[in-house]
Structure 1
Amino acid sequence: MAEGKTVCVTGATGFIASWIVKMLLERGYTVRGTIRNPEKAKYLMQFPGANERLQLLQADLLTPGSFDSVVQGCDGVFHTASPVIPYDQEDVDPETQLLDPAIKGTVNVLESCAKAKGLKRVVLTSSIGAVAYTPHRVPGAVLDESSWSDIDHNRDNKLWYVLSKTLAEKAAWDLAKQQDLDMVVVNPSGVFGPVLNDSLSMSNELLLNILNGKSKVIPNWVIGQVGVKDVAMAHILAYEHPEAEGRYICSERVAHFSELFSLLAKLYPEYHIEGKQDNGPPRLAPYKLSSEKIKKLGLTFQPMEDVVHETVTCFKDLKLLA
């Protein structure tokens, strides 16, 4: 299926993107990965097949035309590159750190894709942040791909990352329609799992901080959860299946954050996990995310218990946990 096909993965050193690169190489694709820092990308060349079929190219999201030559001649493009700001960082300039790179970067990449001859499909990494953040959501509600986050609500509440993903995805759909691009979007929830380098994702840091005792208060959050390998495979299935269209929610479960504490305490009693409930507003009730659409493409979700086990093993291998 992949023989002779060349695809591009933007932001190739990212948590999700590096798994996409690895899996594409395993399936026989030739991969062009875009990077910012060649030194931090060296580990990608250790993947099986990388010496023969992986090219690492520098490109700037905010420079129009920077991706023209990169995507020219590609059968498909996986646009995963997007900024992430730590959830607890307060000194955020939303325009320059999140909104501009996410929106303008997406537009620049898609405009390059529109110029490329022979390009069959673009798979865009969005987020559940573009789906589920609305004041109209009720406890127990089932959200599917028709749901969109509320722009005014997220701007008013300074949910900048959520806002950036929502605006970037909307801009992508507008441009795809204008340019007649065949685009499919994957909307993952909170992504956990082993990393392929020594840099932790924001979601994995949440797990590590529970295990090492830094997180002692259980935040009053409801969080969708999914394994990184499933998210990577969702992208590949969305590319390989001609019938794939529109958006695809990718989430194994949704649960209150206290359940994550409980799961880790159950699986790893040796770390003496203790968390006190946040004494703020009443405990938030979980909503539900429908992942039935991506399942129809053939994705079978890895249980979160297994994802957590692989993640903790990764922490130990990286000497982040004893």
Structure 2
Amino acid sequence: MILITGCTGYIGSRLCKQLLASEYKIRGLIRPSEKVKAQSLIELGLIPYYGELTDPVSLRDIAEDIEFVYHLAGIHSTYHNTYNLYVRGTENLLQEFKRNPKIPVVVASNSAVYSDTQTPHIESSKPITNHPFGEITMEMEKTVMNLSENYAIFRLGEVYGEKEANPFQACSKGITLIGDGMNNTAKIHIKDVINILTKCTKFFPKGIFNLCDDLPVHQLEFYQYVEALSKTTCVQLKKEMEISERIMLSIHGLRTLNIAMDNSLIKQTLNYEFIYPTYKEGLEFLYENQC
């Protein structure tokens, strides 16, 4: 049986559907407050386990019969709440597997662990960051490496795709970028994320891997391509905006980071060919199909 945390999230829900369609038996950790949100997955065959990563007592039986773990839970909140989920929650979860630390564990990390750079980071680049989310993520990664003997940590670029991660839908409401938008960013389409995650059940890639497409792009350039395809003007720059801690930990704050990543290792390890090797192919598909 496979365990998925974050199973009601953008990535987790799509992974659940993909694996259930392939007849895998899936247990999903569901927060009690998300029972309604999880109902459609339960109807597809998801086995619910109600609990909270931040409440170790609620996780006492979660490891029973589990042979594979996807730890995809995430949050954008205050520093305290974010730290509790990513660090304490990860520790609480993996403590339940201490009797069998060799169970494969796939962990969703992120690119905030890297410092500003113009040169794409490879996985052996020393993670140095002064961003609060990056600091939390680095500690989470260390927790995984200390408690698991068989982990795959995926440092995700910014995920885009259909529905709530569709930049065309966001553009219709207006996009605000903090700064001048000329910072590098790493993107990846949700279909490539799900394909890579599902391949892990067949071939487990132990280690740390960057998950992003082939082409780093300036944040502004990405949204200018959205504007060009949709023939709209939607981007507003706030160059002098004061960034609070709450904003810094939000997706808007993360979009201010100047980060480029190299994806060669995951492509070589999994022999993976990206469906959308650059943001242009991904955006063109979204626009043409109105996802």
**Shorter-chain TM-score: which interval?**
0.7 to 0.9
Q: Give the counterpart letter for 1:255 in structure 2.
A: V
CA contact (8 A) 2:160 2:166 kept: no
1:281-320 aligned within 5 A: 288-296=260-268, 297-303=270-276, 304-309=279-284, 311=286
Q: Determine the structure 1 residue equivalent to 2:185.
A: 223
The alignment status of 1:39 with 2:36, answered yes or no, reads yes
Q: Determine the structure 2 residue equivalent to 1:59.
A: 51
Does the residue aligned with 1:113 lie in a helix, a strand or coil? Answer: coil
Q: Determine the structure 1 residue equivalent to 2:87.
A: 103
Instruction: Kindly state the Cα deviation for residue 66 of structure 1 after the two structures are TM-superposed.
Output: 3.1
Q: Give the counterpart letter for 1:144 in structure 2.
A: I
2:171 pairs, out of 195, 210, 222, with 210
Q: Determine the structure 2 residue equivalent to 1:88.
A: none
1:114-129 aligned within 5 A: 114-115=98-99, 120-129=103-112
Give the distance between the partners of 1:192 and 1:285, measured in 2 at CA.
17
1:83-98 aligned within 5 A: 83-85=75-77, 92=78, 94-95=79-80, 97-98=81-82
Q: Give the counterpart letter for 1:225 in structure 2.
A: K
- How many residue pairs get aligned? The number is 270
Instruction: Kindly state the Cα deviation for residue 8 of structure 1 after the two structures are TM-superposed.
Output: 0.6
> CA 1:163–1:313 in structure 2 vs 1: closer, same or farther (change >3 Å)?
farther
> CA 1:61–1:208 in structure 2 vs 1: closer, same or farther (change >3 Å)?
same
Give the distance between the partners of 1:84 and 1:68, measured in 2 at CA.
26
Q: Determine the structure 2 residue equivalent to 1:174.
A: 146
User: TM (normalized to structure 2)?
Assistant: 0.81
2:15 pairs, out of 7, 20, 38, with 20
Instruction: Kindly state the Cα deviation for residue 65 of structure 1 after the two structures are TM-superposed.
Output: 4.7
Identity %: 19
Cα deviations across residues 203-256 of structure 1 (Å, max 9, x unaligned)? Answer: x376644343353875343221001121122222234214x2101111013211
Q: Give the counterpart letter for 1:122 in structure 2.
A: V
CA contact (8 A) 1:186 1:234 kept: no
Cα deviations across residues 148-176 of structure 1 (Å, max 9, x unaligned)? Answer: 432xx52xxxx322222121111111222
Q: Determine the structure 1 residue equivalent to 2:69.
A: 77
Q: Where do 5+ consecutive residues of structure 2 fail to align?
A: 242-255
CA contact (8 A) 1:256 1:285 kept: no
Instruction: Kindly state the Cα deviation for residue 277 of structure 1 after the two structures are TM-superposed.
Output: 8.3
Which range moves more in the overlay, 221-230 or 204-213? 204-213
1:183-262 aligned within 5 A: 183-195=151-163, 200=164, 204=165, 208-215=169-176, 219-242=181-204, 244-252=205-213, 253-262=215-224
Give the distance between the partners of 1:39 and 1:310, measured in 2 at CA.
31
Does the residue aligned with 1:70 lie in a helix, a strand or coil? Answer: coil
CA contact (8 A) 2:76 2:82 kept: yes
Instruction: Kindly state the Cα deviation for residue 302 of structure 1 after the two structures are TM-superposed.
Output: 2.7
Q: Give the counterpart letter for 2:274 in structure 1.
A: F
Cα deviations across residues 257-278 of structure 1 (Å, max 9, x unaligned)? Answer: 1211221122111x34455584
Give the distance between the partners of 1:207 and 1:13, measured in 2 at CA.
23
> CA 1:223–1:55 in structure 2 vs 1: closer, same or farther (change >3 Å)?
same
CA RMSD of aligned residues (A): 2.9
Give the distance between the partners of 1:56 and 1:285, measured in 2 at CA.
36
Q: Where do 5+ consecutive residues of structure 1 fail to align?
A: 1-5, 86-91, 318-322
